Amino acid sequence: MSDCHDCGGCAVATAPAPARRAAPEHVVAIIGPPNSGKSTLFNRLTGLRQKVANFPGVTVEQRVGRAKMNGHREVILVDLPGVYSLNPRSEDEQVTRDVLTGQMHDVPKPDAVLLILDSTNLGRHLVLAAPILSLKLPTLVILNMADDLSSRGGKIDTGELASQLGAPVALISAAKGDGVEKVFQFMLGTSAGTTSLAPPKMELPILQDVPRCRQWARDVGIGAAYQAPSPPLWTRRLDAIFLHPVIGPLIFLAVVAGVFQTIFRGAKPLMDGLQKLVQISGHWIGDVLPAGILRSLLVEGVWNGVGSVIVFLPQILLLFLFIGILEDSGYLARAALIADRTMAKFGLQGKSFIPLLSAYACAVPAIMATRTIESKRDRLATILIAPFMTCSARLPIYFLIIAAFIQERPFLGPFLGTQAAALLGLYALGFLAAIVTARLLKSSILKSERTPFMLEMPPYRMPTLRSLGLRVYDRSKVFLHRAGTVILVCAVVLWILAHLPLQNGQPPDISDSYAGMIGHAIEPAIKPLGFNWKIGIGLISSIAARETIVATFGTIYGMEGTSDSVGLQQALQKELTPGGAFALLIFFAFAMQCMSTIAVVRRETGGWKWPAIQFAYMTLVAYMCALVTNVAVRSGIFT
């Protein structure tokens, strides 16, 4: 495990000697236990100058940023995963250790370390100082939450702690920005090479022995006159409400309903506005450019394709804003606690709840959010079922088909019409498919001895606007980049397929285009579902992204490609039998038609195996259920 650098024996490990970046950039790693305020500090130091990626070859998220210091010097900051120790049992700990020891390929060994600990829980958090200090890198020990410590009557002698540890100590409040200048001073010092480690007064303990490390931390704390603060009264009071046997679950349901309401109702005007904007700007581009191939490609291909993704941005922004508030305030841990028992019934756990809730907006951020689940199998199960949840990309086709084929009548009195009931039914179907799949997975290939559920309850805190803003900015950047690139490529490819081969220098009739040929080719396979070749083209194009099917129908039928286009509804009424229409809804409820999701599953599971299985399984379920629906509707079971 340890010193593999110099020994000749492990040639395999050292053979492709990681080429160090030529520029001698100063790299500083930030490390700390979960809930120590690590990300807050990282954001505070880097601001918008950061990017998210994965550490090479693993699924652990890597955040790298730049901190600007006096005199235009820049320092590269690497945010490491939150860990309690460096004993490499989880992937997070392995990565942290490899980065700190310079064994991670393509990640330069840090020149200095910022170790951030929660000053209100120092006894336990100081345990991490032992393995970090034993690395002998220039280290600043940052005691965060200084404001909490003093307001709750805790004390620490930072000067004495520094001499106990043999490393400089800074007492700060990352959320408020108090004391952050000390962190800059330290980085300035290390980048100038003037910081050196003093020998610690208190000898470091044997790292493998947790009780001994804890004892060491206690002794260091006593040496530094550490006085633990009184218990967080506000947290106890709030827990009395949020974890109340009756009020607690009610608040939980209200929060879930509130999130839902906001990402659908609240985002709607914004989404409609964006859609209009895309259409208007599309027309505008169309007017400016001369008629011809180029205009068609730019407007119908690129602009409408990319526009179909941008329209979802308000929802994604609101979703991340909500998750940010829930997480930063500390409520998310309570929600996971309340949801745990219910999730356990499906073989999952409380931490799967938020990713699944997010999947109602979009599976891509949901799958990224599964990173908080430590148990590998639980995480995989959550990733595999998330795309069954009714994401907002399904809504355009749902709206179109429901408007065209289901007559609006009162269903449950005046409260619920048939159209809304149909939509709710589709939501329920997706959820049902998800939990049945979860049960299947957890009782077969992902069967595991239930990994213990351990969840630390952080104290409640007021989320800061700064951190929420950064989070929303960061995630929407990732979303737009991933979804945008994939959809852009697919939109262009589809456009080319629909416009080639040229006949007499003109784009062919859709039936004679490559897209039409593909549609005709798959027609026999989809005929039993009640779909003809035109629907087939829509299905093929929707493999890129579900919402593109509406735009594709627009192209095929020469109509405006939106859900509320009456012309398109009438065209579909002629094209589809009621059986076919319901089968199409069912197919969309279950099939995994989303390149971005496939790409993110591949990334998060580290290979093609799981996305391939998932795609095959979901397509099979979709096909079978659509077939049953078509046959059932045709034979009049539902009339």
Angstrom CA distances, 199 to 103, 132, 141, 164, stand at 25, 14, 15, 9
The nearer residue to other proteins, 134 or 451, going by C-beta atoms, is 451
Q: Which of 96, 103, 99, 143 is nearest to 123 (CA)?
A: 143
Give residues in contact with other proteins (CB under 8 A).
84-85, 87, 89, 120-121, 123-124, 127, 210-211, 214, 228, 239-240, 243, 245-246, 248-249, 333, 337-338, 340-341, 344, 350, 450-457
> Cβ 34 to other proteins, closest distance in Å?
10
The nearer residue to other proteins, 34 or 484, going by C-beta atoms, is 34
> Cβ 122 to other proteins, closest distance in Å?
8
Half-sphere exposure of 595 (CA within 13 A, CB side): 19
> Cβ 279 to other proteins, closest distance in Å?
48
The nearer residue to other proteins, 245 or 505, going by C-beta atoms, is 245
Q: Which of 401, 422, 406 is nearest to 531 (CA)?
A: 401
> Cβ 221 to other proteins, closest distance in Å?
8
Task: Quote the CA–CA distance of 192 and 26 in Å, as a whole number.
Answer: 9
Task: Quote the CA–CA distance of 128 and 207 in Å, as a whole number.
Answer: 9
> Cβ 578 to other proteins, closest distance in Å?
44
The nearer residue to other proteins, 327 or 474, going by C-beta atoms, is 327
The nearer residue to other proteins, 451 or 635, going by C-beta atoms, is 451
The nearer residue to other proteins, 254 or 489, going by C-beta atoms, is 254
The nearer residue to other proteins, 84 or 431, going by C-beta atoms, is 84
> Cβ 41 to other proteins, closest distance in Å?
20
Which residues does residue 178 pair with via DSSP β-bridges, in sequence order? 173
Rounded to 5 degrees, φ, ψ at 30 are -105, 125
> Cβ 148 to other proteins, closest distance in Å?
12
> Cβ 246 to other proteins, closest distance in Å?
8
Angstrom CA distances, 152 to 37, 40, 52, 155, stand at 18, 21, 35, 9
The tokens for 44 are 């505070």
The nearer residue to other proteins, 316 or 339, going by C-beta atoms, is 339
Strand order in the sheet with 61-68: 50-54, 61-68, 74-79, 26-31, 112-118, 139-144, 169-171
Three-state secondary structure of 510-532: HHHCHHHHHHHHHHHHHHHHCCC
Tell me the residue type at 12.
V
Angstrom CA distances, 567 to 24, 196, 333, stand at 63, 74, 49
Cα-based angle 119, 121, 124 (whole degrees, multiple of 5): 120
